[in-house]
Structure 1
Amino acid sequence: MLQRLVAHFFGRFGFLSLSLVYACLVVVCLSQLISDGDLSLGRRPLQNLMQTATEFSYPSFLDVWFGNPRLEYVSSDGTVLRVENRRVVETNYLLGLARATWTTFSIATLGSLLAAVLALPLGVLTARNLAAPRSLRYIAKAVLDVARSIHTLVFGLVLVGIVGLGPTAGILAIALHSMGTYGKLFSESIETLDIAAIDAVRAVGAGPMQIFFNVIWPSVLPQFVSNHLYVWEFNIRDSTILGVIGAGGLGLLISEATSLFQWGRLSTVLIVIVILVSSFDALSRRIRKALA
């Protein structure tokens, strides 16, 4: 009883100590930013917020039905520079948006699949209960840790310089970063297996490949599929921004809209992203529930 009370006391004391350290860290960060003058809200933040919110509230896709069919662009001296049909212009933009959405989905899909394929052998090597050679386990773990530590955008920036602009750089960036996440999830799934079943099959003379395909793979396949769907869903969100660095897809339209302050078009792109991610989330949730 006394031992439980002591453990409970030190547990609460440890939590309070960590909370105090965290609070001190927050205070230090805030004080440093304030002293450097980096917490400024800029000029007229409320006015800018209201103006941006007003433009966001009218997504550009509404121009397909309500746009001015004869919008005139006039110079300062009253000369008509050009006339455009906003309905036609926005319809063409939506067609381009549909192509960019498919490109983003393709980048996330192919990148996730490549990452899963690359991560599977590394995850098997890092699983402690499979007793892989220590040197191989350390190398595999180091590769996964490095891949997981470097952000997708960093990989993308490097790969754009290597393979050039386009979806290939996005696919490889998604794959290299997600490989670390997949490997960790695969390894943890394998480590939840009953080691006795693995030892029993090993005891009758089964080789590593036989153990994997006859014992490990059937047991962890539902978890692997669930993990794949989860990371795939995350990569759909992640790939929407890769176009900013030249990897194509929705990120390119986001970059164009923000650079030109076209908040109505940015609102349209964000609505598409929300619909895409929400739809895939609902679908993957149903699949994971069926596998549970």
Structure 2
Amino acid sequence: MRATITSFNRLTAAICINALSTAVGCAQPSTIPKADKPHYAFAPTPSWQDEFNYTGKPDPAKWSYDLGDRGWGNNELENYTDKIENAKVEHGNLVITAIKEPSGKQQYSSTRLVSKGKGDFTYGKFEIRAKLPKGRGTWPAIWMLASGNEYGNKGWPDNGEIDIMEHVGFDQDRLHGNIHTKAFNHAIKTNKGNNVVVKGLSEDFHVYTCEWTPEAITILVDGNAYFTFKKEAAYQWPEWPFDKPFHLILNIAVGGNWGGQKGVDDSIFPQKMEVDYVRVYPLVTK
């Protein structure tokens, strides 16, 4: 009887050891770090920001002006100026104002602020809280262009464009997010983007966000993503030029190929885009 029990115990032990070895062998791959795909996140605090907690012209350490009345490639009707009447900071907000008045060769004035050379970024989370103008003929935008010209024909669209927010006043409740590249742009009808209906764009502040990593660009409003453009394995610079520094642009255009599709209502002016803050959170790799 004792011999039988001993043999049974030995057999049981052998089975258990074999099962344990098999289990450990099967589990081993999970102990090996997964191949080199990084996990991307964004730092909890901004590395660059403007809270507009001052008074007067926009901070010259952070913002410059694109100036001119040349139509800006879209047959726009405004002259962009650096006048305080078109861009000023007051009551905690940046206020960009489009005015119906003779200005340069045009009949409207406005402002186009740029962070180029003072805020240039490769990847990150870009967050802007703003209230938009209203009315037929207005075309406000919060967007990004490449700070250098390293690809293709050294200009647009080869070096890329990221539209965090575009709005045209003739379609009041619709918000647009887009990207433009050599391969994907509206001029050749291959544009990548989306739009979403949001009520109260001109009555309330909303948060416009772009999350940009080496793998994807996602556009959000009030924390809700409505457009994502992913980098595919086969993409080269004509599809994905988004691996170089870009800068921010804030402006109100008047009229133009898109904003002026249904004309301009002169009775609405002046019109304002108010910006509560601009915050840029750097990309971190985990």
Regarding TM over 0.5, the answer is no
Q: Which has the higher strand share?
A: 2
TM-score, with length taken from structure 2: 0.20
Q: Which has the higher contact order (CA 8 A, sep 6+)?
A: 2
More helix by share: 1
